Amino acid sequence: MEKYGFVYIWRDSKHNRYYIGAHWGTEEDGYICSSPWLLKAYKRRPKHFKRRILERVYTNRIDTFNAEQKWLDLIQEHEIKTRYYNLNIKVSDYWHKYEDKRLTISEKIAIKTKEAMQRPDVKSNYIEGMKSRDSRSSDPEVRRKRSESMKGKNKGNWDYARAAAIEAVKGKPISDSHKEKIKAAGVFSSLNSRKIACNVCGAEGNPGNIARYHNHKCKKSINVSD
């Protein structure tokens, strides 16, 4: 169903209180209002609320909220927060009043790019730039050679690290030669470069081990407390 705008008024029969608002959508889309105060009351006792459409607008959002302002102007200052759930009677520059504010950054860039490309000078410069652009990266043969040259450069290092982790989980000792390969890989160099001391026993180690086995978890601390 095609969307349109409408201004509505809710009446709370229990407190004889009203709320005026506007919505761009359809009257059957389930929209209640944007007032947290009214919504809270509505959820507790929906049977006390009834909505009436004051005006329908079929042009655009801006006209819809201009129509809302016309109806809000009928509310007296002393009726705000008393006879009406409305906390103010001025329609602000809400994001939904303007189409461009509902777009993502990428969508805005795409629109601006299309607009710019309509200019002959911009389009001409773009075409000239594309002529001098190095497009060899799109060549299948170039991509294949680059892929071949990159294979195995980092894989071996991470294979050593992964194998070491598996062996450690299994509880199996790691051979000296394997340890040397791990050191040469440099994967854990940054992890082991920083040393800190346990607050209880003074043992030094990397932050991960100290946090896991020492400080408040230190065995000496446990023995003392026992």
| pLDDT tens-digit readout, 136-193 | 556 777 777 777 766 655 555 555 566 666 656 555 666 777 777 666 665 555 555 6
**What fold is seen in the domain 4-97?**
GIY-YIG endonuclease (3.40.1440)
pLDDT at 52 over 90: yes
How wide is the angle at C-alpha 23 spanned by C-alphas 22 and 24, nearest 5°? Answer: 135
pTM: 0.44
Mean pLDDT of the chain: 79
Name the pLDDT band for 212 (thresholds 50, 70, 90): confident
Residue 153 or 2, more confident: 2
How wide is the angle at C-alpha 109 spanned by C-alphas 104 and 114, nearest 5°? Answer: 130
Beta bridge pairs of residue 5? 24, 57
- Domain residue extents for the chain: 4-97, 103-130, 155-192, 194-226
Query: What number is the average pLDDT over the span 8-15?
Result: 96
Cβ count near 177 (within 10 Å): 8
**pLDDT one-digit tens code per residue, 63-114:** 999 999 999 999 999 999 999 999 988 886 554 445 555 566 777 777 778 7
